[in-house]
Amino acid sequence: MAMLDTCSERLGAILDDAQRLMSCESPSDDLAAIARSADVVAEVVGARLAEAGLPSTPERIVVGGCTHLRWRFGGGGRVLILTHHDTVWPIGSLATYPIHITGGVLSGPGCFDMKVGLAQAVHAIAALAQKAGPAAVAGVTLLVTGDEEIGSPTSRGLIEDEARGAKAVFVLEAAGPDGSLKTARKGASVYGVDVIGRAAHAGLEPEKGINSVVELAAQIPVIAALADTDHGTTVTPTRLRADTTVNTVPAHARLDVDVRATTAAEQHRVDHGMRSLESTLSGSRIDVSGGITRPVMERTNTAHLFSRATTLADSAGIHPLHAIAVGGASDGNLTAGMGVPTLDGLGAVGGGAHAADEHVVIEHIPHRTALVALLIADTLAGGGR
Pairing of strands 168-171, 342-343: parallel
317: left (phi over 0), alpha (psi -120 to 50) or beta: left
The reported pTM is 0.89
- Which sequence spans correspond to the domains of the chain? 3-186+296-383, 187-293
Q: Which of 17, 25, 86, 149 is catalytic?
A: 86
Q: Which helix (H) or strand (E) holds 18?
A: helix 11-22
CATH number of 3-186+296-383: 3.40.630.10
Q: Do 3-186+296-383 and 187-293 share a fold?
A: no
CA–CA separation, 167 and 381 (whole Å): 11
In the annotation, is 148 catalytic?
A: yes
Task: Determine the pLDDT at residue 243.
Answer: 81
Bridge partners for 68 per DSSP: 61
Measured at the CA of 120, the angle between CA 65 and CA 376, to 5 degrees, comes to 100
CATH number belonging to domain 187-293: 3.30.70.360
Contacting residues for 12 by C-beta, under 8 A, at least 6 apart: none
Residues of the chain with pLDDT under 70: 383-385
Q: Which residues neighbour 253 within 8 Å (Cβ) at sequence distance 6 or greater?
A: 194, 195, 197, 212, 213, 215, 216, 240, 241, 242
Q: Which of 17, 25, 147, 148 is catalytic?
A: 148
Residues 331 and 35: their CA atoms lie apart, in Å, by 20
| C-alpha to C-alpha distance for 303 and 301, rounded to whole angstroms | 6
Q: What is the enclosing helix (H) or strand (E) of 45?
A: helix 31-51
* Strand ranges in the chain using DSSP code E only, listed in sequence order: 59-63, 66-72, 79-84, 100-102, 105-107, 140-145, 168-171, 181-185, 187-196, 200-201, 234-242, 248-249, 252-261, 285-294, 323-326, 342-343, 350-351, 359-361
Going by their DSSP bridges, the two strands 323-326 and 234-242 should be labelled as unpaired
Q: pLDDT tens across 144-172, in order?
A: 999 999 999 999 999 999 999 999 999 99
Q: CB-based contacts of 359: which residues, under 8 Å, 6+ apart?
A: 105, 106, 107, 111, 112, 350, 351, 352
Kindly provide the b/e burial profile for residues 192-209, where b requires at least 16 CB atoms within 10 angstroms of the residue's own CB.
Answer: ebebbbbbbebeeeeeeb
Residue 368 contacts residue 10 (beta carbons within 8 Å): no
Give CA–CA dist 277/287, Å, rounded.
Answer: 9
Residue 383 confidence (pLDDT):
65
